[in-house]
A and B are shown apart, each in its own frame.
Chain A
């Protein structure tokens, strides 16, 4: 049985940023744990709208949750105006998380809004208070909660850097919320690609960890949760570098040549 809290409290602030109240919200991890307890059979998602300039860069995803009690659907949307700026590059992932949170709320009969459905700064507040949540700036990398098989809990941790010599099979986490062909072009069209310096840093870091050649590329693809290096944007590479630097500086890194 999972120990994830079903709800948490977030501060309500006034215009000046002063905390004036608290508000109870559901957590995705708690909703998922409760759904498992209640016989979760599947979580399926469907990309309804790819973000583009014509629709205000709004991604829309529909999620369907099946439990022993029946089938429950939810819609989630995300655009640069209703997400935290740090996840603005990951609109499809965010829309998917929101859709699943809504469907899970109905499935387990929770009326309060889920944290992930909120606009942005609220998530920061909780992440600052609860160490179990991903650190700021790293959360988006694992924000894609893959369709559940009904047994395996969804991995929402930040991208763990591969351990030296660890096998990091490509596609291990892959059950993309949308076909790769629908995801990568959406990013490519709107964001600059990873720079040469970023690419070099990442490969040096992976080399420090024992990954070379194709194994390094596979590890990078898996960590970025994409199927093609062309989908690794400048902002995504930047997030990976920040996360891995943090791990390296914390002493879990390799030889430190990636500089």
Chain B
């Protein structure tokens, strides 16, 4: 008898093959959203304009890093052209939700942010690698046991003893707002190299007058252990199929809002 296909994460084969910071933060923000995205692999009803904007800025800066790593001296004009091309590619997606801002307005902001970044770091030596992928084992600090899946992610840029994290944000955030992600990266670099890195957080802020904020930090054993504990608990919840919705201020812009409300209505009707 053929086995029916299942989206139940408790069924072997449907568990995630790895964990990423994005998966963990998605589950923490809303377990049901995690299920829609990573278990059901449901097509989103919309796409976040903020994420699309960040992606276009990121890719222009990645291009700039790579040009310098290759020994070339990239012109700002070309970095801006890369940004515009990627931004145009993003805004042609009919699912994009720009939240009352226009593509032209955001393009101008993006160009200003890329300019700020290039001007800020043009005289510094380039990083060693841009977009460095990592894959490390995850250890549950409570038990010492290894999780059955690795932690996978990408560091924006890496150089000796330093990794970069680039953020685009509507306002300047406190560095502790990114503590889970930074702890994950610190954990990953230390697991890989044996050395705890400094982390440079570059915030490109989309204020009326765009600005750049650069800070560096180094995390502690305790913060890394806390990240591993969170990851282990999230993984455990996923394996148990715990995906309750988490109604919050984020719901109105959620890419699965319709599906979520439909699912709840069906459950109520049943």
Interface check A92, CB cutoff 8 A: no
With beta carbons under 8 angstroms apart, the residue of B55, B63, B78, B88 that contacts A203 is B88
* Contact stretch, chosen from B79-87, B144-152, B184-192, B245-253: B79-87
Q: How large is the interface on A (under 10, 10 to 19, 20 to 34, 35 or more residues)?
A: 10 to 19
A 135-153 contacts with B by CB, 8 A: none
**B81 lies within 8 A of A203 (CB):** no
- Residues in chain B near residue A202, CB distance under 8 A: 89
- Chain B 3-42 per-residue mask, 1 if CB under 8 angstroms from chain A, else 0: 0000000000000000000000000000000000000000
- Residues in chain A near residue B88, CB distance under 8 A: 203, 212-213, 216-217
Q: How large is the interface on B (under 10, 10 to 19, 20 to 34, 35 or more residues)?
A: 10 to 19
B101 to chain A, nearest CB (A): 17
A128 to chain B, nearest CB (A): 35
**A212 lies within 8 A of B81 (CB):** yes
Q: Find the B residue at minimum CB distance from A205.
A: B85
Cα distance A257–B82 in the bound complex, in angstroms? 8
Interface check A204, CB cutoff 8 A: yes
Q: Find the A residue at minimum CB distance from B52.
A: A196
**A212 lies within 8 A of B84 (CB):** yes
Interface check A73, CB cutoff 8 A: no
- Residues in chain A near residue B81, CB distance under 8 A: 207, 212, 257
- Chain B 89-106 per-residue mask, 1 if CB under 8 angstroms from chain A, else 0: 110111000000000000
Number of A-B contacts (CB under 8 A): 45
Cα distance A171–B82 in the bound complex, in angstroms? 27
Interface check B59, CB cutoff 8 A: yes
Cα distance A172–B78 in the bound complex, in angstroms? 30
**B89 lies within 8 A of A203 (CB):** yes
**B78 lies within 8 A of A199 (CB):** no
A32 to chain B, nearest CB (A): 35
A63 to chain B, nearest CB (A): 33
Cα distance A202–B93 in the bound complex, in angstroms? 13
B78 to chain A, nearest CB (A): 7
**A207 lies within 8 A of B84 (CB):** yes
Tell me whether chain A's interface is mostly helix, strand or loop, or mixed.
helix
Cα distance A207–B92 in the bound complex, in angstroms? 15
- Residues in chain A near residue B86, CB distance under 8 A: 200, 203-204
Cα distance A212–B82 in the bound complex, in angstroms? 10
**A204 lies within 8 A of B94 (CB):** no
**B84 lies within 8 A of A213 (CB):** yes
Cα distance A29–B81 in the bound complex, in angstroms? 41
B5 to chain A, nearest CB (A): 18
**B85 lies within 8 A of A203 (CB):** yes
A 201-246 contacts with B by CB, 8 A: 202-204, 206-207, 212-213, 216-217, 229-230
**A207 and B93 in contact, given A200-B59, A257-B63, A257-B78 (Cβ under 8 angstroms):** no
A110 to chain B, nearest CB (A): 45
- Residues in chain B near residue A207, CB distance under 8 A: 81-82, 84-85
**B94 lies within 8 A of A199 (CB):** no
A213 to chain B, nearest CB (A): 6
Cα distance A204–B59 in the bound complex, in angstroms? 11
**B82 lies within 8 A of A204 (CB):** yes
Q: Find the A residue at minimum CB distance from B74.
A: A257
Cα distance A200–B92 in the bound complex, in angstroms? 10
B182 to chain A, nearest CB (A): 26
**B85 lies within 8 A of A206 (CB):** yes
- Residues in chain A near residue B82, CB distance under 8 A: 204, 207, 257
- Residues in chain B near residue A203, CB distance under 8 A: 85-86, 88-89, 92
B154 to chain A, nearest CB (A): 14
With beta carbons under 8 angstroms apart, the residue of B63, B78, B90, B92 that contacts A229 is B92
- Residues in chain B near residue A213, CB distance under 8 A: 84, 88
- Chain B 46-84 per-residue mask, 1 if CB under 8 angstroms from chain A, else 0: 000000000100010001000000000000001001101
Q: Find the A residue at minimum CB distance from B81.
A: A207
With beta carbons under 8 angstroms apart, the residue of B78, B89, B94 that contacts A200 is B89
Cα distance A212–B55 in the bound complex, in angstroms? 18
Cα distance A257–B85 in the bound complex, in angstroms? 11
- Residues in chain B near residue A230, CB distance under 8 A: 94
A 168-211 contacts with B by CB, 8 A: 196, 199-200, 202-204, 206-207
Residue numbers of B with Cβ under 8 A of A are 55, 59, 63, 78, 81-82, 84-86, 88-90, 92-94
Which are the 3 A-B pairs with shortest beta-carbon distances? A207-B85, A203-B89, A199-B89
Given contacts A203-B88, A204-B89, 10 further A-B contacts (CB under 8 A): A196-B89, A196-B90, A200-B89, A202-B89, A204-B85, A207-B81, A207-B85, A216-B85, A217-B88, A229-B94
